[in-house]
Structure 1
Amino acid sequence: MGSSVAYVNGAVYVDEFDQNILNVDDNIYDASCSTGTYSNQVRAMRRVELSCRTVTTAQPLAADHPRATSIALDVSSPDLDTHVASHDVVISLVPFVHHPTVIRAAIRGKTNVVTTSYVSPAIRELEAQVKEARITVLNEVGVDPGVDHLYAIKTIDEVHSKGGKVKEFYSFCGGLPAPECSDNPLRFKFSWSPRGALLSQHNPASFLQDGKVVSIPNDELMAQAKPYHIIDGYSFVAYPNRDSVPFREFYGIPEAETVVRGSLRYEGNPEFVQALIRMGWLDTQERNWLSGREDVTLKELLRRAVGADSDEEGALISRIQELCAFSNDEEMERIVSGLRWIGLFSDRKATPRGNLLDTLCAELEKLMSFQPGERDLVMLQHKFVIEWKGGKKKTITSTLELLGDTNGYSGMAKSVGVTCGVATQLMLDGEPALNVAGVLAPYKAEICDPIRIALESEGIKLIERTI
């Protein structure tokens, strides 16, 4: 049978005329991945079906691909099974909670699946059915997760082959505005959901340090952010992200005493987000007073959020100082100025969305989206502290600095879309390690190496240095 690829909100690559891809996509960011991030060979060869919730969203994505068609389709569609079954692979770039729905359709249709998301417990629960259907569900082939795995495994395997031990492993990644575009109080812009971006800074985290597990509650995560130098000219801070502990096993480094994976932001961002948390703005609980209100002002919402006596600016600032316990006057002035920039002290009408977080996001979407001519930055660095035979220690860094194109493709779209695309292409080309029945992720050289080599041919490569 010929090959076909289905794109459920995502990005695709294929190589033979008879192969079809279904791409199922659900958001603007993933849509950018589905366009323009394919190699010339892929553009010319494979059939791609691009799906979004509405056909008007999908049509522009298909315009640049000569063998692409566009349809309206999402995970709740009764036609999902039919579309999935008629393709050779489905690329699922829907929110991670919906991947199991796509995978179940793929099991019924005997269709392979590619995602850029972590293997969740819900996906892992489907592994027996995936194997029984003799299909491959390949996950974690974006940038983080994805590119990070490819180069972690490369360096770790090289160190082990020379008799060395990886005693410490650090990995930090950030999707950020380019420095010249980080021109707001959070020094951040949204190429995807503001909700998801903010909540990612309010998760608990665990990591290994000196052989011991360190756990950070979500309300204290931003207080863990520390200055982190990668390349001159950038003012990064880094903080741990979710659970790093399993990666000692995933990466095959039982000798490691410290394992930390985390995120990057620009200086000043964590303090601002921490203030928002303390004021209650990341609260997702539904509030009656945030439903059905069209006349409420932002300063009235701020008063309700912080519990101030009135919505006069002086009273609001006084209450904010009580809640936030700023470290100094300079920090207080900077954050209050930022709140003023958002409009939270103003008479401007709010856009209530049922809870404080989504109501705040309604304002941030207007103020902090990328504008024409602006570009983003993907920065990723691994740091390995190596112990060689005889006890001598060296540090190896592996770094990706990828800027988006002005009025072109973003760095995030390129790094996620191309990685996902070449992995899909390799699967369809019959790469043995990418055609094993089961739930896969790139934690072994036989999976990582072919993807990494193909990715480098597309110009995405981490630069390694020994220091």
Structure 2
Amino acid sequence: MGKAPAGARGAFISGGATMRVLVLGVGMQGKAALYDLVRSDRVREVIAADRDLDALRAHVASRGYGPKVQCEPCDAENPAEIDRLVARGVDVVIDLLPTRFSDAVAESAVRHGVHFVNASYVTPGLKALSHEAKARGVALLPEFGMDPGIDLVLLGEAVRQFDVVQEIITYGAGFPEAQAANNPIQYKVTWTFEGVLRSYYRAGRIIRDGRVVEIREDEMFCPEHLHELEIEGIGKLEAFPNGDAIKYADLLGIDLSHLRNLGRYVLRWPGHAAFWKRLVDLHLLDAEPVTVDGVTVDRRRFLAAIMEPHLQYRDDERDIVVVRVQVAGLKGGRRKRVLYQVIDRRDLETGFMAMNRTVGFTASIGAQMLGSGELAARGLLSPVKDVPYEPFARELRARGIVVTSELSDWE
């Protein structure tokens, strides 16, 4: 397999302009999704909804989006507000609100016959909606951002190339370029930092040397769960576990008894994990609030409020996104290894971070594939098995996000 050629950033997408799309939550990732939808000639109209209507209108005006975008207020704490917007006759809703609103948005989408896309992990509530969604002809496509999202489409494609899968290792990461990693934790914010802190206290499951390893919330930064990875053009990074990897093997129907190693990992500059292990050991990331002088304090929100203002990128600094999927096993009786990889950097011309591009553009692609009928399955979908690789990679390439692939012998 050869390397895919680079494409022009922000190229227009072909097709007739017929669909109406609702974007709920126009924050860092939502702005990128909105940009992509406006530039698509498959999209006739976009309703952009956010809690801060004045800021949204100012952003839309500054970008010169014109009448294609309607700005609406949305207080997501009020389910009736969500329902009012979803009922506006749209074809697809892109939910980029905080994760706690996912179920309410999906319920409204199913009720009104609107397809649903978000970039968050599947919730029990979404699973419970699958049957009704399918009966109503609605597709629910969660986990369709960068990680989860791009990584899962690449994983599905990689696994389908093997007769027997014996190893799956995937990485998803966003972090500053080396020259921008100029603070004590060598990290800057391209997502809500409170969300980052929640992800830093999460249980996981991996397979190591043929054995299932259960990782408690407070163990993900332990040295025995870390390893290093050298990536050409970037340098040496450290990796730590990223949640439950086994559920994706189950989804793909992989026999776990054949797997020698299985894991999903986050990448950061070396030393990051050691810093956060100290904070975890001091219980600063515990989910339980603490009471101080009669005031209930959420530990993560407290830390995020203090740290986030000091973890911002300058206008001339870039982030890097890495999505890397390594699968090895038997192919035609021979031991083979396939590697799929995306490396993206901030686009200084548009200002969009690599994280914004790989999350927001991906969500937009998903919405357009659903709205155009390119994705025909209904009910609860998964990028692992329901999103075809070639059309998806082509759409990424049109936006300058390039997937490379390499097949080699597995020693």
Q: TM-score scaled by structure 2?
A: 0.86
Change (3 A) 1:359 1:96: closer
Change (3 A) 1:112 1:357: closer
The 5 Å alignment of 1:103-182 reads 103-157=106-160, 159-160=161-162, 164-182=163-181
Change (3 A) 1:206 1:47: same
How far 1:199 moved relative to its partner?
Answer: 2.4
Q: Deviations over 1:76-106 (max 9, x none)?
A: 3433323212211111111222111011112
Change (3 A) 1:245 1:94: same
- Using the alignment, how far apart are the partners of 2:303 and 2:371 within structure 1? 43
How far 1:49 moved relative to its partner?
Answer: 0.6
Match of 2:318 among 375, 397, 400: 375
Change (3 A) 1:380 1:288: same
Q: Which amino acid aligns with 2:127?
A: R
User: Could you say which residue in structure 2 is the equivalent of 1:393?
Assistant: 335
Given that 1:379 and 1:399 are in contact with CA atoms closer than 8 Å, whether structure 2 keeps it comes out as: yes
Change (3 A) 1:22 1:36: closer
Match of 2:56 among 55, 58, 68: 58
- Using the alignment, how far apart are the partners of 2:21 and 2:85 within structure 1? 10
Q: Deviations over 1:86-133 (max 9, x none)?
A: 211111111222111011112222222111222221110112222232
User: Could you say which residue in structure 2 is the equivalent of 1:333?
Assistant: none
The 5 Å alignment of 1:314-353 reads none
- Using the alignment, how far apart are the partners of 1:289 and 1:110 within structure 2? 47
Q: Deviations over 1:161-213 (max 9, x none)?
A: xxx43211100111111221111111111122222212212211111223321
| Stretch moving more, 398-407 or 76-85 | 76-85
How far 1:152 moved relative to its partner?
Answer: 1.6
Q: Which amino acid aligns with 1:89?
A: V
Q: Deviations over 1:283-319 (max 9, x none)?
A: 3433332666xxxxxxxxxxxxxxxxxxxxxxxxxxx
Q: Deviations over 1:266-296 (max 9, x none)?
A: 101000001111223223433332666xxxx
- Using the alignment, how far apart are the partners of 1:446 and 1:420 within structure 2? 12
Length, aligned pairs only: 386
SS at match of 2:221: helix
Match of 1:89 among 88, 92, 101: 92
How far 1:62 moved relative to its partner?
Answer: 2.9
Q: Which amino acid aligns with 2:133?
A: V
Change (3 A) 1:282 1:452: same
SS at match of 2:235: coil
User: Could you say which residue in structure 2 is the equivalent of 1:466?
Assistant: 407
Given that 1:24 and 1:74 are in contact with CA atoms closer than 8 Å, whether structure 2 keeps it comes out as: no
- Using the alignment, how far apart are the partners of 2:380 and 2:82 within structure 1? 21
Change (3 A) 1:411 1:47: same
Q: Which amino acid aligns with 2:47?
A: E
The 5 Å alignment of 1:66-465 reads 66=66, 67-77=68-78, 78-86=80-88, 87-157=90-160, 159-160=161-162, 164-223=163-222, 224-254=225-255, 255-289=258-292, 354-390=297-333, 392-406=334-348, 408-431=351-374, 434-444=375-385, 447-465=388-406
Change (3 A) 1:416 1:180: same
- Using the alignment, how far apart are the partners of 1:386 and 1:179 within structure 2? 34
Change (3 A) 1:31 1:232: closer
User: Could you say which residue in structure 2 is the equivalent of 1:315?
Assistant: none
User: Which ranges of structure 2 fall in alignment gaps of 5 or more residues?
Assistant: 1-12
Given that 2:321 and 2:344 are in contact with CA atoms closer than 8 Å, whether structure 1 keeps it comes out as: yes
SS at match of 1:48: strand
- Using the alignment, how far apart are the partners of 2:386 and 2:134 within structure 1? 22
User: Could you say which residue in structure 2 is the equivalent of 1:338?
Assistant: none
- Using the alignment, how far apart are the partners of 1:430 and 1:267 within structure 2? 44
How far 1:381 moved relative to its partner?
Answer: 1.0
- Using the alignment, how far apart are the partners of 1:184 and 1:33 within structure 2? 26
SS at match of 2:35: coil
SS at match of 1:385: strand
- Using the alignment, how far apart are the partners of 2:332 and 2:164 within structure 1? 8
Given that 2:204 and 2:217 are in contact with CA atoms closer than 8 Å, whether structure 1 keeps it comes out as: yes
Q: Which amino acid aligns with 1:362?
A: A
Q: Which amino acid aligns with 1:399?
A: Q
| Stretch moving more, 363-372 or 267-276 | 363-372
User: Could you say which residue in structure 2 is the equivalent of 1:47?
Assistant: 45
- Using the alignment, how far apart are the partners of 1:128 and 1:45 within structure 2? 28
Q: Which amino acid aligns with 1:79?
A: E
- Using the alignment, how far apart are the partners of 2:251 and 2:266 within structure 1? 19
Change (3 A) 1:356 1:85: closer
- Using the alignment, how far apart are the partners of 1:435 and 1:366 within structure 2? 43
- Using the alignment, how far apart are the partners of 2:108 and 2:239 within structure 1? 39
| Stretch moving more, 54-63 or 116-125 | 54-63
Please tell me the root mean square deviation across aligned C-alpha atoms, in Å: 2.4
Larger Rg: 1 or 2?
A: 1
- Using the alignment, how far apart are the partners of 1:425 and 1:288 within structure 2? 47
How far 1:446 moved relative to its partner?
Answer: 5.7
User: Could you say which residue in structure 1 is the equivalent of 2:5?
Assistant: none
How far 1:56 moved relative to its partner?
Answer: 1.3
Given that 1:150 and 1:449 are in contact with CA atoms closer than 8 Å, whether structure 2 keeps it comes out as: no
| Stretch moving more, 245-254 or 90-99 | 245-254
Q: Which amino acid aligns with 1:229?
A: E
Change (3 A) 1:30 1:290: farther
Q: Deviations over 1:325-361 (max 9, x none)?
A: xxxxxxxxxxxxxxxxxxxxxxxxxxxx824332222
User: Could you say which residue in structure 1 is the equivalent of 2:19?
Assistant: 19
How far 1:445 moved relative to its partner?
Answer: 6.0
